[in-house]
Amino acid sequence: MKHTVSITTAIVIWFGLSSGALAQEFEGVITTRQLTLGDRALSMLLDPQAAEAERIDYRAVFALPMDRILEFAGQSDNDISVDSLVYSMKGTQLRVSGDVGDEMPGHAILDLGAGTFQFVQPAEKMYIELTREDFETYRSMTPEGEREAKPLLQARHLGQTKRINGMECSAYEIESGEWITVAWVTKELGDLVDAFVEFESRMKAMGMYDEEEDSEVFSLVAEHGFPVLEQTFRTFGDYGAEYEITEIQSVQRRSLSADLFAVPSDYEKLSIMEMLRLMGG
């Protein structure tokens, strides 16, 4: 699942969940990685014939070896970004931390029991806490855009299986006009399917569900398992293409300390208006 979302989008998502307690039973840590390759990277990694074709064949892109991409990503100015996120889940609490550049210079804590969302910046020793009332105030300041009708999508079983990060996975393909995704799903993470399905159902029920491409993919493959690896190829008309890989690197089921979901008492608390000023709003 794609994770480089803006803080404002994250607020919409998280507060869509903040009514009542989740029944999900997963406790532990999920580590993810996302790689994004632009036009220049694709032209350098693909063989000349594939790179110079009038339309790049997504199958040639999806066949690129991961180790080759990672080796290339270690070079400077190569049009590849590598981001990572760590999701820590315990009961009604979720903490998201990781390395996504300037998009998330800290970590986020969602507490469904308390109905709060906290964005914590340890380097500044400060945090922003939003309640449902704050969220409603923020929404009233944000104009709603018109929604375009979306085509009905389906997940097509490709009949392919392979082990990914120690899990047996099956491939499903979802194709839209501008993008195509192959999701490798496993039945070994059933508790995560239950957790994320409940998250999405609560967002939809409250009318706060902003369905994006990655959420569509999850909804379509959830009945078959949890996506361990997603490969997505997007085209932008005359403006090139992009290849994105999102993978679950590890899932650790273990007890987590309550301190992991708490903000240190000496951190400064900011208001939503101060947050908006910091974000340039």
**Full residue range of the structural domain in which residue 218 is found:** 7-278
In a domain, 2, yes or no: no
Q: Which residue has the higher pLDDT, 115 or 276?
A: 115
The 10 Å Cβ neighbour count of residue 9 is: 12
Specify the DSSP class assigned to residue 261. Answer: G
What is the rounded CA–CA span in Å between residue 97 and residue 270? 20
pLDDT given at position 76: 63
| Count of the separate structural domains present in the chain | 1
Q: In the chain, pLDDT over 90 holds for what percent of residues?
A: 41
Q: Which residue has the higher pLDDT, 196 or 1?
A: 196
pLDDT given at position 179: 93
What is the rounded CA–CA span in Å between residue 109 and residue 14? 10
In a domain, 243, yes or no: yes
In a domain, 247, yes or no: yes
pLDDT given at position 8: 40
pLDDT given at position 17: 41
pLDDT given at position 250: 95
Which residues sit opposite 128 in a β-bridge? 119, 270
pLDDT given at position 130: 78
DSSP 3-state of 27 = coil
pTM of this structure: 0.79
In a domain, 1, yes or no: no
pLDDT at 248 over 90: yes
Residue recorded with tokens 């990655």: 214
- Rounded mean pLDDT, 147-161: 82
pLDDT at 147 over 60: no
Following DSSP, what letter does each residue of 97-141 receive, concatenated? Answer: EEE-GGG-SSEEEEETTTTEEEEEEGGGTEEEEE-HHHHHHHHHT
The mean of the pLDDT values for the chain is 80
pLDDT at 126 over 50: yes
